[in-house]
Amino acid sequence: MPTATLLITCPDQRGILAAVSGFVDHHNGSILRAGEHLEPDTNLYLLRVEWDLANFALPDDRIAVEFTPIADKFQMKWRLAFSARKKRVAIFVSKMAHCLADLLYRHQIGEIECELPIIVSNHPDARPLAEFHKVPYVELPLDSSMSKDNKAEVEARQLALMREHRIDLIILARYMQILTPRFIAAYPDGIINIHHSFLPAFIGARPHQRSYERGVKLIGATAHYVTEVLDEGPIIEQDVARVTHHDSLESLIGKGRDLERVVLSRAVRWHLEDRILVYGRKTVVFE
Amino acid sequence: MPTATLLITCPDQRGILAAVSGFVDHHNGSILRAGEHLEPDTNLYLLRVEWDLANFALPDDRIAVEFTPIADKFQMKWRLAFSARKKRVAIFVSKMAHCLADLLYRHQIGEIECELPIIVSNHPDARPLAEFHKVPYVELPLDSSMSKDNKAEVEARQLALMREHRIDLIILARYMQILTPRFIAAYPDGIINIHHSFLPAFIGARPHQRSYERGVKLIGATAHYVTEVLDEGPIIEQDVARVTHHDSLESLIGKGRDLERVVLSRAVRWHLEDRILVYGRKTVVFE
Amino acid sequence: MPTATLLITCPDQRGILAAVSGFVDHHNGSILRAGEHLEPDTNLYLLRVEWDLANFALPDDRIAVEFTPIADKFQMKWRLAFSARKKRVAIFVSKMAHCLADLLYRHQIGEIECELPIIVSNHPDARPLAEFHKVPYVELPLDSSMSKDNKAEVEARQLALMREHRIDLIILARYMQILTPRFIAAYPDGIINIHHSFLPAFIGARPHQRSYERGVKLIGATAHYVTEVLDEGPIIEQDVARVTHHDSLESLIGKGRDLERVVLSRAVRWHLEDRILVYGRKTVVFE
Amino acid sequence: MPTATLLITCPDQRGILAAVSGFVDHHNGSILRAGEHLEPDTNLYLLRVEWDLANFALPDDRIAVEFTPIADKFQMKWRLAFSARKKRVAIFVSKMAHCLADLLYRHQIGEIECELPIIVSNHPDARPLAEFHKVPYVELPLDSSMSKDNKAEVEARQLALMREHRIDLIILARYMQILTPRFIAAYPDGIINIHHSFLPAFIGARPHQRSYERGVKLIGATAHYVTEVLDEGPIIEQDVARVTHHDSLESLIGKGRDLERVVLSRAVRWHLEDRILVYGRKTVVFE
């Protein structure tokens, strides 16, 4: 069934939930799921309301107009999403394709619902996989001998591709290049990265190697929105797996692969279902 | 801060959330937490709304009166709870006191908030612990040589004690006796048991022994409301721990102890915070 | 590096480890990993010793001969495996291909090392996946209108295929047919099944549906060797995932998929690495 | 049954296991558990062998003497432990007593086997708990107005108490003072601390507060041996618990308490059972 979802952030005050649920009810909408969160430290109120559009009295393009007075009254930062409008997603990948393979399989069986017009890579390795799933694969190699110049050019072409394909969400599925602030600024809360450690432990390069050397008893993976500061963006999801002294670096990396694809896919699914709200450095994930 | 909480179950229909949040707002109440759940199979709607009583316009004893018309309109099954009214709890225990010790410690440091007027046991073993925590300990031994007669008598005395102390919740903290339907009927959704397995695996006696013999790779614990059918009541919480072939029956039981006390304490806390709604054989635990 | 592995079960007695490690040392072998387990209830001793064959003084085909006197002295049940001899594996699948897709990907990146000469299915659905991974796919449909006759015939053809391809291990990767005792008898401790529940909870059909109806707070998956009694074979691995009242049957099944493929792949890897010993209804999984 | 345990570290070479198990066998000992680990990066071999002393031909005080030639041949670092000789343990605690309460309860029911001659604290808060368990409680307050002088004096008294009570192991059960290098040097691999984060994330002060501010989705606890560099000692055990946006700092700390006491108790039990070997910054925990 087609639904609409309001995602709202505003200063806490009396009557917000009554106003929003009253708005939906007034126009003959039936609420399917409502979730809210009051952040006591900052007195911030976050709300997500999803309702059935079947008998809703307002046409889609009137909802925002009619809701604006309420939003203004409560000083809301808000957005409106429609389940019928599938988000358009680009996946970036380097050589290791386990996360990509996982996302493509989930997409194929309908577990992840989105448009998937493009995969971007700096390597040719994942092309057969993309072709099997019939997703266009654009290879933009980075020239390390004169990387700086080439990187700017590659990013410009990437951004052009994003625009051309009207991309809403970029997934860095083990894409081993650091994006520039300029690129990131084009997609605020719109780039999801999977980092192969339990952040904020092992920020930066080679977290598996460093986990192994430190002798941790659990390894982790973290899906987060990308911000200008490396590995410091709002965390969406994390999980861990147990390792022991029996684990070689190789088997530890293997356990990491299992973590990464599950953690990334959860974050992607929640984003696509408009279930995430970012506030400051944190996220609310509505159930 | 003192709060009021409405817990509501009713057939799903348009406008419930708007009506309830409107009621709170209308009387100048500020909602602190709202959680809801729509059960698609039975078209049941479950709602929990908690609000700050600080500036609420209605005195406590008028809230139910004023809310009744709304409740009637939507055919609600509902109840109203006040955070200022601490629930009165009785703990039943046999010989193994790890869950009791844990609950008493949590109560002492304020993690579990309730009145604790009585501990009931069929054995003397836990008396020193009860005395250290200054909770009255009533020993009602069961005479196994002529158990049937004695059991009825013991239960009658237990029920009398429950009435005398105006008990709201009974916790079976590894109380190794089966309660009669008559006793259970006096406390619908008011008796929490901890079963030392991952239900519905290993229903009945000696689940640890049977887990060990079956060679499972995880053991579990389950906190549930007690109903007439043994170990079939609505599950509140479950958790598991890993075991290997290295585990003896004894070490498996030790891991079980750690599980049981954590699982039981979560269930108890959620019950005391009025966060659980039972529907059919299931529970909703509102966050 | 090529290695040899001895897997031994015998009555516990003094000197077993000294004899076996002495044997390896005597012939100039360097032990890479030794694991043992003493089962106190049955006084059974289980031992796994893996050693580097690089400088080993005995040729491969003399090891068993030379070891036999030691084996006889301690009344050992034993077998000898060589890492250089890859096991030959057949995967059986029905319509749901998530476990198959996962195994094929792990095989492709070298995480699971084996020969994979054949995939058998009663449905055509997974053929494109098999073809992408260049594994022959044999479709043997079961005719439900006269299922009994056809089933015997299908099984006969399956067994013929297993013999023809000299299959060592059969993986039931969500193969939704019950094998006959005759088939099972041909592969003792040689068929691994993934059951989509936390056994022994929800033995039999539709465990996800029943988990959902029972209102459990965790769902599970179990990989086990297949024996004549349905879902009662020795458990190799289990794991669980948390579900809440927010989970629909569909999302619960989705979480189950993630569990099943991880649990099955672990069991398969351990089997292929000769790390599992079955004793009675239990398994030892050597690290 | 009384047992002896050899814990051995040496350069990897052919014949170690054969030599050690041969030694035990030669003197009529029956091995109960053997565990080993080969560290490929450093070519280090670590071995633990425990055997039944019932029919062992050597008296306890001759074992080390007879074993020395083998140890010398393989350049072993080694130690010998006897199960009959209970270790002597001191617990240090500040105000928060949840780990202490847990350890005392486990000691009482026999889950943790050791002598417990003394509890040391810089606060009076835990005295009633110590008295209930009949363990002497020494209060050595730190004077923060002139802390430096007083700290040296307090440490000197602490060390004198450790010597007087012949303490083998010191447990820092949420003892919120940093020990000086001099103190630490007196107990190499002999002080276990519980840090309330998933190390190396949130090294240093107030990890719960910082976890809360960072918006992590899991919190952790780490038990480690104390070395001169704060929170950098070899990790013995770690575990995590899930948190969500619903968790306040207070509820996060509550979940942390449950983690800390379980993680610490595991580390302590493994140490007391002589199952831990430290190598470099890592630990092997033998099953």
Q: What is the 3-state secondary structure (H, E, C) of chain D?
A: CCEEEEEEEEECCCCHHHHHHHHHHHCCCEEEEEEEEEECCCCEEEEEEEEECCCCCCCHHHHHHHHHHHHHHCCCEEEEEECCCCCEEEEEECCCCHHHHHHHHHHHCCCCCCEEEEEEECCCCCHHHHHHCCCCEEECCCCHHHHHHHHHHHHHHHHHHHHHCCCCEEEECCCCCCCCHHHHHCCCCCEEEEECCCCCCCCCCCHHHHHHHHCCCEEEEEEEECCCCCCCCCEEEEEEEECCCCCCHHHHHHHHHHHHHHHHHHHHHHHHCCCEEEECCEEEECC
Q: What percent of chain D has pLDDT over 70?
A: 98
Give the residue from B237, B241, B232, B235 showing the smallest Cα distance to B264.
Answer: B237
| CB contacts < 8 A (B, C) | 81
The CATH-assigned architecture of domain B88-285 is: 3-Layer(aba) Sandwich (3.40)
Bridge partners for A219 per DSSP: A241
Q: Please report the pLDDT score of residue A147 as a whole number.
A: 57
Q: Please give the structure tokens belonging to residue B184.
A: 């259970």
Instruction: Give me chain B's average pLDDT, please.
Output: 96
Note whether A18 contacts B15, CB cutoff 8 Å. no
Q: Collect all residues with Cβ–Cβ distance below 8 Å to B153 and sequence separation of at least 6.
A: none
Chain D residues in contact with A235 (beta carbon < 8 A): 214-217
| Best D16, D20, D31, D284 residue to mutate vs chain C (most C CBs within 10 Å) | D31
Chain B residues in contact with C248 (beta carbon < 8 A): 40
Interface check D70 vs C, CB under 8 A = no
Q: Please give the structure tokens belonging to residue A198.
A: 């339990």
How far does B285 lie from chain A, in Å, by closest CA?
Answer: 12
- Report the alpha-carbon distance of residue D6 to residue D70 in Å, rounded: 12
Active-site annotation holder among D231, D239, D258, D274: D231
Please, what is the end-to-end C-alpha distance for chain A in angstroms?
A: 19
| Best C132, C134, C174, C273 residue to mutate vs chain A (most A CBs within 10 Å) | C132
What part of D 81-100 touches B (C-beta under 8 Å)?
A: 98
Chain A residues in contact with B14 (beta carbon < 8 A): 25, 28-30
Closest-CA residue of B relative to D243 is: B287
Instruction: Give me chain A's average pLDDT, please.
Output: 96
The angle formed by the CA atoms of residues A55, A60 and A64, to the nearest 5 degrees, is 115
How far does A48 lie from chain C, in Å, by closest CA?
Answer: 15
Least confident piece of the model among A248-262, B45-59, D93-107, D132-146: D132-146
Chain A residues in contact with B52 (beta carbon < 8 A): none
Interface check A215 vs D, CB under 8 A = yes
Interface partners of chain B (CB pairs < 8 Å, 3 or more) are A, C, D
Interface check A287 vs C, CB under 8 A = yes
- Report the alpha-carbon distance of residue B107 to residue B115 in Å, rounded: 9
From residue B87, how far is each of B59, B117, B131 by CA, in Å?
Answer: 20, 11, 21
Interface check D133 vs B, CB under 8 A = no
Distance of CA C205 to the CA centre of its chain: 21
Q: Please give the structure tokens belonging to residue C175.
A: 């193969």
Decide the pairing of beta strands D44-52 and B115-121: unpaired
Note whether B17 contacts A36, CB cutoff 8 Å. no
- Mean pLDDT, range D83-92, rounded to an integer: 98
The angle formed by the CA atoms of residues B247, B244 and C7, to the nearest 5 degrees, is 105
- Report the alpha-carbon distance of residue D125 to residue D138 in Å, rounded: 12
How far does D39 lie from chain C, in Å, by closest CA?
Answer: 10
Spell out the per-residue pLDDT of chain C, length 287, in tens: 899 999 999 999 999 999 999 999 999 999 999 999 999 889 999 999 999 999 999 999 999 999 999 999 999 999 999 999 999 999 999 999 999 999 999 999 999 999 999 999 999 999 999 999 999 999 999 876 655 678 899 999 999 999 999 999 999 999 999 999 999 999 999 999 999 999 999 999 999 999 999 999 999 999 999 999 988 999 999 999 999 999 999 999 999 999 999 999 999 999 999 999 999 999 999 99
Identify whether the C-beta of residue C22 lies closer than 8 Å to the C-beta of residue C45. no
Q: Collect all residues with Cβ–Cβ distance below 8 Å to C250 and sequence separation of at least 6.
A: none
Note whether D218 contacts A200, CB cutoff 8 Å. no
How far does D142 lie from chain A, in Å, by closest CA?
Answer: 33
Chain C residues in contact with B244 (beta carbon < 8 A): 285
Closest-CA residue of B relative to D246 is: B287
Distance of CA A261 to the CA centre of its chain: 13
Residue B73: count of CB within 10 angstroms of its CB? 13
| CB contacts < 8 A (C, D) | 56
Identify whether the C-beta of residue C48 lies closer than 8 Å to the C-beta of residue D32. no
Interface check B18 vs A, CB under 8 A = yes
Q: Please report the pLDDT score of residue A40 as a whole number.
A: 86
- Report the alpha-carbon distance of residue D57 to residue D61 in Å, rounded: 12
Q: Please report the pLDDT score of residue A103 as a whole number.
A: 98
Q: Please report the pLDDT score of residue C148 as a whole number.
A: 61
| Best C216, C222, C246, C270 residue to mutate vs chain B (most B CBs within 10 Å) | C216
Identify whether the C-beta of residue C252 lies closer than 8 Å to the C-beta of residue C240. no
Q: Please report the pLDDT score of residue C1 as a whole number.
A: 87
Write phi, then psi, for A63 (nearest 5 degrees).
-60, -50
Which amino acid is residue B278, in one-letter code?
V
How far does D40 lie from chain C, in Å, by closest CA?
Answer: 10
Task: Considering only the beta carbons, identify the residue of C105, C254, C262 that sits closest to A101.
Answer: C105
Chain B residues in contact with D98 (beta carbon < 8 A): 105, 109
Q: Please report the pLDDT score of residue B146 as a whole number.
A: 58
Q: What percent of chain D has pLDDT over 90?
A: 93
- Mean pLDDT, range B57-83, rounded to an integer: 98
Q: Please report the pLDDT score of residue A144 as a whole number.
A: 67
Give the residue from A11, A82, A18, C216 showing the smallest Cα distance to B20.
Answer: A18
- Report the alpha-carbon distance of residue B144 to residue B151 in Å, rounded: 9
What part of D 30-49 touches C (C-beta under 8 Å)?
A: 30-36, 38
Length of chain B: 287
Q: Please report the pLDDT score of residue D41 as a whole number.
A: 86
Active-site annotation holder among B102, B168, B231, B274: B231
DSSP characters over B204-271: SS-HHHHHHHHT-SEEEEEEEE--SSTT-SPEEEEEEEE--TT--HHHHHHHHHHHHHHHHHHHHHHH
- Mean pLDDT, range B259-270, rounded to an integer: 98
Chain B residues in contact with D246 (beta carbon < 8 A): 287
- Report the alpha-carbon distance of residue D57 to residue D63 in Å, rounded: 9
Largest CA distance in chain C: 63
Q: Please report the pLDDT score of residue A215 as a whole number.
A: 97
- Mean pLDDT, range B97-108, rounded to an integer: 98
Under DSSP, is residue C266 helix (H, G, I), strand (E, B) or coil?
helix
Task: Considering only the beta carbons, identify the residue of D213, D240, D281 that sits closest to A214.
Answer: D281
Q: Please report the pLDDT score of residue A273 as a whole number.
A: 97
Interface check B201 vs C, CB under 8 A = yes
Give the residue from D33, D74, D15, D1 showing the smallest Cα distance to D274.
Answer: D33
Task: Considering only the beta carbons, identify the residue of D12, D30, D35 that sits closest to C14.
Answer: D30
Note whether D244 contacts B105, CB cutoff 8 Å. no
Chain B residues in contact with A12 (beta carbon < 8 A): 30
Q: Please give the structure tokens belonging to residue A180.
A: 């520039």
Q: Collect all residues with Cβ–Cβ distance below 8 Å to C232 and sequence separation of at least 6.
A: C200, C203, C281
Write phi, then psi, for B219 (nearest 5 degrees).
-110, 160
Taking only the tens place, the pLDDT of each residue in A49-94 is: 999 999 999 999 999 999 999 999 999 999 999 999 999 999 999 9
ipTM at complex level: 0.94
Interface check C72 vs A, CB under 8 A = no
Taking only the tens place, the pLDDT of each residue in C184-227 is: 999 999 999 999 999 999 999 999 999 999 999 999 999 999 99
| CB contacts < 8 A (A, B) | 58
Q: Collect all residues with Cβ–Cβ distance below 8 Å to B68 and sequence separation of at least 6.
A: none
Q: What percent of chain C has pLDDT over 70?
A: 98
Q: Please report the pLDDT score of residue A230 as a whole number.
A: 86
CATH (one of 3.40.1190.10, 3.30.70.260, 3.10.110.10, 3.30.360.10) for B3-82? 3.30.70.260
| Best D42, D239, D245, D282 residue to mutate vs chain A (most A CBs within 10 Å) | D245
DSSP C245: T
* Domain spans, chain A: 3-82, 88-285
What part of D 233-252 touches A (C-beta under 8 Å)?
A: 234-240, 244-246, 248
From residue D16, how far is each of C26, D26, D58 by CA, in Å?
Answer: 12, 15, 21
Closest-CA residue of D relative to C13 is: D30
Q: Please report the pLDDT score of residue D139 as a whole number.
A: 98
Chain A residues in contact with B30 (beta carbon < 8 A): 12-14
Identify whether the C-beta of residue B100 lies closer than 8 Å to the C-beta of residue B129. yes
